[in-house]
Chain A
Amino acid sequence: MGTGLLGVLMERQGRAATTSASSTRDPASDEPDGRRQEPLRRRSNSASAPAVGDSALTEEVRRDRPGSYSGTTSVSRQRVETLRKKRPLFPWFGLDIGGTLVKLVYFEPKDITAEEEEEEVESLKSIRKYLTSNVAYGSTGIRDVHLELKDLTLCGRKGNLHFIRFPTHDMPAFIQMGRDKNFSSLHTVFCATGGGAYKFEQDFLTIGDLQLCKLDELDCLIKGILYIDSVGFNGRSQCYYFENPADSENCQKLPFYLKNPYPLLLVNIGSGVSILAVYSKDNYKRVTGTSLGGGTFFGLCCLLTGCTTFEEALEMASRGDSTKVDKLVRDIYGGDYERFGLPGWAVASSFGNMMSKEKREAASKEDLARATLITITNNIGSIARMCALNEGYFGAVGALLELLKIP
């Protein structure tokens, strides 16, 4: 659902959703405690998802009802409350367990005093060393070195923020590693969000002897984005957009500064897509979502091309030609369809050429990957645009409208 490939997809694909955030760059407002529970959790969406029928979709779902936080978590919450008064013990982790990927954020303190280092237990050192000296973990874990945020001040400590990811299906191995490295002896709090925080809670407890502090993924998402934007990206802006996206020669990635970001529409593209309308830093609602997301792109690419990794799928897509796969307006009308103001190059039917045997045979795997990417991104853009119009954010999705003009 809302969790997932956001950062990865954005960076590699080079296409931005509107991830704008607070422009308040006042350092005094920094240092939010990432674990603090906001007392106010406003969700104006109300509909529960229908339970009938075997067809199902991601849609507005209520998750802040009483009972969401069960007995075991209220214990964790108390711990959070007490920890707030005192700085938490290292290591500092944040975990987002999505449908496809697990995202792990690790804060590496760089201001450790000699005294501290002496007191540090061996397992803590070993974890720090393991995480910071490697860029890959096992066969599937990857540290996105290019995303690393350096010289950050967090909760009074200076250090670097590391971004690590691995596939969700390797979660059992991760928990096993936690057990092997004796995480539980560190008395750290594992704050986790995403659906997996629920799905794997019991495994963490029974196998790793670790108590998860489960947090709502949309709350975390908004908080994380606002924070990341406020600290900037190693001196650069976190939020950017593409100028002239339709023109490969003049396409430029430009920083986007928002003086007053609200209201904004947040399109979170994970395995699926969640679309949130954010009115202020603690007031938002989930407007809608779609099941056609990163997981669909990757899943279809696997089936169509036999690729095995997300990177591979994106790489293939970058080399393909989707016009061999898609039926364009000009394929039907011979040129522009002026009556509806549709240019000839617009896609009339995604995968429409694949109805024909000859054209199926002429399309390469790269072409299919490209068409899949275009199909999914155009669709997300289209839905986001409609949501923005319906929410009345005519201006806020200007960047997204540009996205729709992919050649």
Chain B
Amino acid sequence: MAECGARGSGSSGDSLDKSITLPPDEIFRNLENAKRFAIDIGGSLTKLAYYSTVQHKVARVRSFDLSGQDVAEQDRESPYEISVQEEVTARLHFVKFENTYIEACLDFIKDHLVNTETKVIPATGGGNIPHEAFAYQKDADPEFRFQTNHPHIFPYLLVNIGSGVSIVKVETEDRFEWVGGSSIGGGTFWGLGALLTKTKKFDELLHLASRGQHANVDMLVQDIYGGAHQTLGLSGNLIASSFGKSATADQEFSQEDMAKSLLHMISNDIGQLACLYAKLHGLDRVYFGGFFIRGHPVTMRTITYSINFFSKGEVQALFLRHEGYLGAIGAFLKGAEQDNPNQYSWGENYAGSSGLRSASPELCPTQRARSGTFDLLEMDRLERPLVNLPLLLDPSSYVPDTVDLTDDAQAREHWLTCFEEALDGVVKRAVASQPGSVDAAERAEKFRHKYWDKLQTLRHQPFAYGTLTVRSLLDTREHCLNEFNFPDPYSKVKQKENGAALRCFQRVVGALDALGWEERQLALVTGLLAGNVFDWGAKAVADVLESDPHFGFTEAKRKLEERPWLVDCYDRWLRRLKGPPHKCALIFADNSGVDVILGVFPFVRALLSRGTEVILACNSGPALNDVTYSESLIVAEHIAAMDPVVHAALREERLLLMQTGASSPCLDLSRLDEGLASLVRERGTDLVVIEGMGRAVHTNYEAALRCECLKLAVIKNAWLAERLGGRLFSVIFKYEVPAEVPAE
């Protein structure tokens, strides 16, 4: 089955064919831990799927045992201790490569695979929900428009273009039917292309095609009608007969032109059949996948054109970022009998996955060499299932991200530069977080390289990893840090800050209690905002904090913009506070230290005093200096020891600490921990407070909820502030009340 397209052909591509250009351990990551392994050797591509466990380091926090210790000990800087532990999580790996490399790969696999049950999976199936889908628009900016992951995707037609074409009607996640196919597919392009030209490799044929002029080979309408096509209302550029001009013995045709004509012929034919099938089955969405598509803009474009043409715009051609894996993911998850796949949610590991390819392969040859040959996808099994926040007004239209950076070139430039400039600091922070480690510096450098490469890829191909957003940039950084065993670079910073803030808690609360009611409400809000200035994630603040560690809470308050704020709904909020108390408030906390302890907790305390129950939701895993769920438990415990209101609320379960299920500085309200979601429902939550730039500005700024919502943030990025019409440390105080609170 292995085919060696260029073996012995003497072409310059020979050396490439014989050896894997990358160390195999980078491709078959974690293979020695594979628990289940499946291989699908297709007509021209081999796909591997394996399920492995990954051991990685996690930072754990634990309260000191306070019994038998004197008061002086409690006054020490750290409120808790940090330990790094090994944790094992499950990961799915998908790798695909051309069959040319199969021998070398199989050798490597044999050497590294131990005690694993191997099975061959049929990879042509409907499979799982296609996650990130996108449509292609020629000459648009961006050319790739991603569909958000909304649940109403069924039914759809899945057209898998491998060697041949399979057309599958997918009605639900597990109900799909093969409705037809065609033998004219990727293998036809490749096979005929290899016969017609000197180029024997698929990718190179596509590249050849992208430089050709099909009109030299195809017979167009204008070739038959002469100039009359215009008066007849015909489009002269229509292909009347593919290869119609080559029916002559006395003419040579350029390889580029023939490849282009071939590409058009096949894309058009597939598009036409897909439309006919879509029409027959009454479907208006067609997802295209298979190696013929595999992120090749040129084939996506011709297929899209064909679909638009044949359906007159009634059918939409959609592509999937992980298209080639759909069948494999579906089959693999289904095959994982002992772990019911529906129990788990999976998240893509950006650190391990390769990206979509560029329209211009010359731009980034190293990146191309890798992903062009081996395509990788890794998915981490998340510990708990994730669901929608029940309070979303319209879950199907909810998009967490405020700005689509694939769409907004100016914003993209800014943020990419911003993340590039911040990289040094992150590396420094990572090394500093592990003072005892001998290889921390080395690992940190590896991290730097990996993340830098990803950023460079994104500069050239913003769509490489799906929708590009500030959130995806932040998440990718976290994944890359984890990859090199920096599970929580801010753990020590957070520990120190939490300790310092806890010591100030009583003073802050005392001052608040001394104020009159109306004054106190404003002070609570400004406290919340001032706390949010403390954010190691934002470079401006990082600079201030590095140079002046005693930069205090009061200082932060002074830095805040004077009212009226950039977005200022405070008066409405104050009026609301004069009304009846809320039943239950859900608060998404942001940073550790001053933010959560001196900003959020006093606010929580005030809500509790009003008779409102509070759910405080924190990240499950670490991200920047954000407070994690386990840290929040310890912090609450310390506060309860000082404050009877919090103490009683915790005891009576009027204050509940929950985890979000996420490890991100941003917030995706459509992927929240199941336990949190059901609690929100049970308690009849009627107020949601979202705090911080990551959660309330980069994401959720436009999110519409079914209940009242506060979105609070201090803009700590000068560019963003300016873009929003403000300046550094401008304040966003958004208070939203749904027009009509719909009945649950």
Contact A99 B223 (CB under 8 A): yes
Alpha-carbon distance between A188 and B200 when the two chains are bound, in angstroms:
56
Interface residue? B95 (CB, 8 A): no
Contact A271 B241 (CB under 8 A): yes
Chain A positions within 8 Å of B190 at CB level: 351-352, 354-355
Those of B65-114 within 8 Å (CB) of chain A: none
Contact A296 B244 (CB under 8 A): yes
Contact B184 A353 (CB under 8 A): no
Fill in one digit per residue for B295-323: 1 if any A CB lies within 8 Å of its CB, else 0.
00000001001101110100000000000
Binds A, one of B2-10, B331-339, B357-365, B396-404: B2-10
Interface residue? B127 (CB, 8 A): no
Those of A371-390 within 8 Å (CB) of chain B: 375, 378-379, 382-383, 386-387, 389-390
Those of B165-216 within 8 Å (CB) of chain A: 166, 178, 180-188, 190-192, 194-196, 200, 202, 214-215
Residue in contact with A70 in the complex, picked from B220, B226, B231, B306, CB distance below 8 Å: B231
Binds B, one of A33-41, A49-57, A218-226: A49-57
Residue of A whose beta carbon sits closest to that of B310: A59
Residue of B whose beta carbon sits closest to that of A341: B178
Fill in one digit per residue for A326-343: 1 if any B CB lies within 8 Å of its CB, else 0.
110001100000011010
> How many chain B residues touch A (Cβ–Cβ < 8 Å)?
86
Those of B221-267 within 8 Å (CB) of chain A: 221, 223-229, 231-235, 237-249, 253, 258, 264-265, 267
Residue of A whose beta carbon sits closest to that of B251: A302
Contact A54 B215 (CB under 8 A): yes
Interface residue? A303 (CB, 8 A): yes
Alpha-carbon distance between A196 and B222 when the two chains are bound, in angstroms:
10
Contact B243 A300 (CB under 8 A): yes
Interface residue? B24 (CB, 8 A): no
Contact A302 B247 (CB under 8 A): yes
Contact A56 B42 (CB under 8 A): no
Interface residue? B438 (CB, 8 A): no
Interchain nearest-CB distance for B305 vs A (Å): 5
Chain B positions within 8 Å of A94 at CB level: none
Interface residue? B619 (CB, 8 A): no
Contact A350 B184 (CB under 8 A): yes
Interface residue? A360 (CB, 8 A): yes
Residue of B whose beta carbon sits closest to that of A62: B233
Those of B525-554 within 8 Å (CB) of chain A: none
Residue in contact with B280 in the complex, picked from A300, A353, A389, CB distance below 8 Å: A389
Contact B182 A379 (CB under 8 A): yes
Fill in one digit per residue for B256-290: 1 if any A CB lies within 8 Å of its CB, else 0.
00100000110111001100110110000000000
Contact A291 B277 (CB under 8 A): no
Interface residue? B685 (CB, 8 A): no
Contact B276 A327 (CB under 8 A): no
Fill in one digit per residue for A193-229: 1 if any B CB lies within 8 Å of its CB, else 0.
0111011110000000000000000000000000000
Contact A355 B187 (CB under 8 A): yes
Residue in contact with B226 in the complex, picked from A62, A63, A198, A390, CB distance below 8 Å: A198
Contact A55 B308 (CB under 8 A): no
Contact B194 A198 (CB under 8 A): no
Alpha-carbon distance between A201 and B231 when the two chains are bound, in angstroms:
14
Interface residue? A348 (CB, 8 A): yes
Residue in contact with A54 in the complex, picked from B214, B231, B306, CB distance below 8 Å: B214
Interface residue? A13 (CB, 8 A): no
Contact B241 A293 (CB under 8 A): yes
Contact B163 A383 (CB under 8 A): no
Task: Given A302-B248, A353-B191, decide whether A386 and B43 contact each other with a Cβ distance below 8 A.
Answer: no
Alpha-carbon distance between A65 and B246 when the two chains are bound, in angstroms:
32
Instruction: Identify the B interface with A (CB < 8 A).
Output: 3-9, 42-44, 122, 138, 162-164, 166, 178, 180-188, 190-192, 194-196, 200, 202, 214-215, 217-221, 223-229, 231-235, 237-249, 253, 258, 264-265, 267-269, 272-273, 276-277, 279-280, 302, 305-306, 308-310, 312
Task: Report the 7 A-B pairs with minimum CB-CB distance, sorted nearest first.
Answer: A354-B191, A199-B226, A195-B224, A295-B241, A198-B228, A349-B187, A299-B243
Q: List 30 A-B contacts (CB under 8 A).
A: A48-B235, A51-B237, A55-B305, A55-B306, A57-B272, A58-B238, A63-B233, A65-B232, A99-B223, A100-B241, A100-B247, A195-B226, A200-B226, A201-B228, A291-B242, A292-B265, A296-B242, A296-B244, A300-B243, A302-B249, A349-B163, A350-B164, A352-B44, A355-B3, A355-B5, A355-B194, A355-B202, A379-B182, A379-B184, A383-B272
